[in-house]
Structure 1
Amino acid sequence: MKNLITVEDLIIKSVEELDEEKVIRLASKALKAGMEPLFLLDLIKEGVKRVGKLYEDQKYFIADLIMAGLIFKEVLELEEMKVQFRRRNSKILGRVIVGTVKGDLHDIGKDIFKGLMEVNGFEAVDLGVDVSKEVFAQGVIKYKPDIVGLSGVLTSTIDSMKEIVDTLVDAGVRNDVKIILGGSHLTKEACDYIGADCYANDASAGVKLCKQMLGKI
């Protein structure tokens, strides 16, 4: 158990320090030793969360946030991770559009959620990061999704999320979709303030909520 804890701490710290080579080496070794892919992703997310905090404290810069995202994507390219995110359900349960809201460049939580939604039979459209309220509204009109997923790691994204929901209301399309929020800082109070249908603090819980909203469970 002591060695496992040491590996966990090393992975988190290596992400926090943006040591790409070390992260990939440790992640590959951990997966081959039997670590669950989703557990590994939780460790990566914790490291990225620390990068985000350093950014908010003005000790890291935007380039560092981007680097953290690149490290995450490198981990997803490991063969054991690709197996985890291969579609298991050939039937399409619904369509979701996802994006990290304006003012935030984090894409890890969004990418994990998108991958798990696809594995569980959803068609997912990724709008990217730092997505404006106008682009979300255009996405709803263009793709006609069942669900809109708003992702954000920084606490400041709550206001951006509310602006997006208000824009969907103004565009007359709010009632056409379900809206789920994703981010570790989110609470029921924040969800109610934003005007979304539900929120999730991790991607797996978000997938379950989406199924429930569409009556697929």
Structure 2
Amino acid sequence: MKQARPLPHYLVQRYQGWRATSFNENRAWYRRLADEGQRPRAMVIACCDSRVHVTSIFGADSGEFFIHRNIANLVPPYQPDGQQHGTSAAVEYAVNALKVTHLVIVGHTHCGGVAGCHAMCSGHAPELEEKTSFVGRWMDILRPGYERVLELPEGEQVRELERQAVLVSLENLMTFPFVRERVESGDLSLHGVLHDIGDGTILQYDPTADRFVPVSG
């Protein structure tokens, strides 16, 4: 692969700093992770957005979270069609192989993917409608959420669609037979949260109230 190049200098410096400090101070823990394998209690599905740092938000150490990131933190419906499905494969591995007991969808404010979905569905982003657009076809997952926000004033639709990205993903998770089985047996719990990038808060979905509420306790 002749096009590959060495890492940029700033990444090399940061790696060397991490190796000399955090790694060195926790060398025994990293050795244990290497020798005994990973046993995360939770899987987190978050957005690729560089502003969403889930390990920092929840104060997690190496080995605690099995993390999958994609555009707009979406989970597609269960569709075993023989094609390549990165998110579905990650969910299958976390639930069936790692036996996680919590699966958390982390949405966030000011999501570019969600805004793009809204623009596409409202006819303002024809480039995303093209069959060749990977982003557009991925954001098709969120079209049911878009239909739910149409009755809101236009200025509120994108913010509500960010919430819908979490809810649609939770709903789609329950279409996976192995997820549904473990949820119904009580061995797996699903969680949906929305992170506000600007003020650092998170809201969690309360199914009883059918709304996002502040995290407490």
TM range (shorter): 0.3 to 0.5
Point out the structure with the larger helix share.
1
For CA contacts below 8 A with separation 6 or more, give which structure has more relative contact order.
2
Structure showing greater Rg: 2
Higher-strand-fraction structure: 2
Q: TM-score, normalised by structure 1?
A: 0.39
The two structures have a TM-score, normalised by structure 2, of: 0.39
